[in-house]
Chains A and B, each alone.
Chain A
Amino acid sequence: MSPWDPTVARLTWHSVLGRRRALVLLLLPVALLALCALARALAALEGGDAEVSDALAVDLLAGFGLGVLMPLLGLIAGTGVIGPEIDEGSIVYLLTKPIDRFTIVLTKLGVAVAVVLLLGVLPVAASGLVLTGELDLVTAGFTVGALSGGLAYCALFLLLAVVTRHAVVVGLIYALVWESVVGQFVPGVQNLSAQQWSLATVVGVFGDDAERLELSAAVGPATGWVLLVVVAVGSTVYAGLRLRRLRLGAEV
């Protein structure tokens, strides 16, 4: 069983980057880059030394980059690689081919990850550059954070799309209500937040500088990594299993 099917990959790539979805996806990195450029511009206007403080950079990248950009990107890409096909029933064409279900899942996951890399991780790295002007710890840390979080989000939301037709709404509730709103009020919830885990990986990269850069996460870096990997792998495996038993029909 090969983990990658080029035809499926090509078709999925074209479908997930269909005109409308691509526009929505593009909105996210463009917004982040615009924000960072603005911060840089404002800093330049204020005083000759066009520097943005590390703390501010961390705030921006953690808040908008890992908090808004990555989850939404992962949601739209992760559900977009398989959700519409299942909804329209055209997934039958794929399921009746002699391709292993896990190959399908892995290939589609690969495409989603590619989208997230291109439109999420890369822009986050670029933003770090724009903000701090150098390839330093901040940039490296958040690139790692974006990568780790992005992988987990893609796998999680792809699974969600296989399991329910309302994947997008459920995913939004998770990303918005659970992680952000509830997370602020209910202490334990933060431990179950992929956002916090990805922040933890950033803390891991920062190492001893984490305190100076005013970044902390609800769990330790090692825990963060482990949980992210577990979620990514577990979601992928479970998605493959569910795909084997996928029931089609004119469901609401």
Chain B
Amino acid sequence: MTEQTRAGTVIHDIGYRHYDGPRLTTRQIERALFTETVRAAFGWGRSARSKVMPLLLLASTCLPALIICIVISVVPLVDEVPGGYPSYPFSVQVALAVFVGSQAPAVISKDLRFRVAPLYFSRPLSRTQYVRARYAGMAVALFVLIALPLTILVVGALLAELPWREQVTAYLTAMGGAALHALVLAGIGLLIAALTPRRGLGVAAIVTVLLVLSGLQATVTALAEEFGASTLADLGGLLSPFALVDGTLGVLGADDASIRAPGLDEGLGVLYPLLVVLVVAGCYALLVRRFRKVGIG
């Protein structure tokens, strides 16, 4: 049955069908948004162009791990993984910083820049659920970026017949650290991205902040050590997200985890995990506040 409308377009009208099927709960919707976010973080489901950056960065975080695996399998006298597992993210921090900088805006800035956010909030999803889904998605993407090379490392180590108990313990500790890294970086990245929706500024802001903090941390620690200010050297790690998580692992007992000075076993060490919690909770809260300001109409 066809119909000619006033505008002259022909519509083959099999009629409008109503939908009587299942409707998902808000938790299921949140989960759907979460998976969409993880996909968006890797450029999945978009043009090939948007996949280049994330995949390139994934390769750059995995490359050193691959090289190390080759080295330990070829050189027979090595009985431990050079550099260790828990401090691996610290060594690839540039790639991680660029990944957050490039993908956090891809995940969240568009909703603000093009005012899509009101459409989300005129739907069943609440603002906290929206932020949770985005945060969790970004964190999972970052986790993959760190977990993959760590897994490559442990597989390579086991294949090279390194003592397995040590390897696996260190690996598991590092995976815990990877989760912490993911949470901290995702929080910082998404918050900055939400505050700088203009194109290009988000990337620049996130990378600038992360790298300046890293640079500050390295320099302050070096200065402190050179001038013998041991407390400052111990606390210098608080400045950079990467060193912060690294230090937290050390404080929580991982032996070869920390690249920080051992003086952290005293009371001051508790500042590390405390700050991690503060940063994650703070970024989450500020994100929710930012999106509460989004209104309709």
Contact = CB atoms under 8 A, between A and B. Distances in A.
Direct contact between A and B judged by beta carbons closer than 8 A: yes
Q: Which of A63, A168, A173, A180 has the most CB of B within 10 A?
A: A168
Contact of B98 (A35, A45, A176): A176
Interface of B: 47, 49, 53, 94, 98, 101-102, 195-196, 198-201, 203-205, 207-209, 211-212, 215-216, 219-220, 223-224, 226-229, 232
Contact of B203 (A46, A56, A169): A169
Interface string A139-182: 00000000000000000000000000101110011001100110
A40 B218 CA distance: 17
Given A31-B216, A165-B199, A167-B200, A181 B94 contact: yes
Contacts of B223: 35, 38-39, 42, 56
Chain B binding surface, main DSSP class: helix
A161 B12 CA distance: 48
A252 interface: yes
Given A35-B220, A38-B223, A169-B53, A21 B211 contact: no
Contacts, number: 98
Interface residues of A, number: 38
Contacts of A27: 208-209, 212
A222 interface: no
Given A20-B198, A38-B220, A169-B102, A68 B212 contact: yes
Interface stretch (A1-9, A71-79, A199-207, A235-243): A71-79
B188 to A, nearest CB: 13
Contact of A252 (B49, B204, B228): B49
B176 to A, nearest CB: 27
A24 interface: yes
Nearest to B207: A172
A220 interface: no
A84 interface: yes
B219 A63 contact: yes
A20 B195 contact: yes
6 contacts: A35-B220, A35-B223, A76-B208, A167-B200, A176-B94, A176-B98
B215 A168 contact: no
Interface in A43-92: 43, 45-46, 56, 60, 63-64, 68, 72, 75-76, 79-80, 83-84, 87
A64 B98 CA distance: 18
B94 A46 contact: no
B204 A24 contact: yes
B216 A172 contact: no
Given A20-B195, A38-B223, A45-B229, A168 B216 contact: no
Contact of A46 (B47, B196, B199, B228): B228
A176 B214 CA distance: 13
Interface of A: 20-21, 24, 27-28, 31, 34-35, 38-39, 42-43, 45-46, 56, 60, 63-64, 68, 72, 75-76, 79-80, 83-84, 87, 165, 167-169, 172-173, 176-177, 180-181, 252
A180 B207 CA distance: 14
Contacts of A176: 94, 98, 207, 211
A35 B232 CA distance: 13
Nearest to B203: A168
A42 B211 contact: no
B207 A79 contact: no
A46 B216 CA distance: 20
A79 B198 CA distance: 12
A24 B94 contact: no
